[in-house]
Amino acid sequence: MANIMIRRDSKGSYQFYLPKRDLEDTIVSMEFDTQEKWGGEIKLNNGGTYYIEPQVAPARLPYSVRAKRLDAAE
């Protein structure tokens, strides 16, 4: 599992950042994106897939959380 940071860009899209690899990319889909349930499987623009344990949506962004890599970018 890796520590990642999620924030919103100026267009309102979620941005994914993995400091250990200096990887920054746009999140194209998130399995759960409601106030009550946020996270699950997230897919990046580069094709990578990560998993965040579903939880209550964070009160504010940027937000640091642990994520598991399911599939690396090609």
SS (H, E, C) 27-70: EEEEEEECCCCEEEEEEECCCCEEEEEEECCCCCCCEEEEEEEE
For residue 73, pLDDT over 90 is answered with no
Pairing assessment for the beta strands 49-55 and 63-71 based on DSSP bridges: antiparallel
Stated pTM of the model? 0.91
Residue 74: per-residue pLDDT: 56
Residues facing 51 on adjacent strands: 41, 68
Residues facing 69 on adjacent strands: 50
- Tell me: the pLDDT tens digits for 5-59? 999 999 999 999 999 999 999 999 999 999 999 999 999 999 999 999 999 999 9
Mean pLDDT, rounded, of the chain = 95
C-beta separation of 35 from 43 below 8 A: no
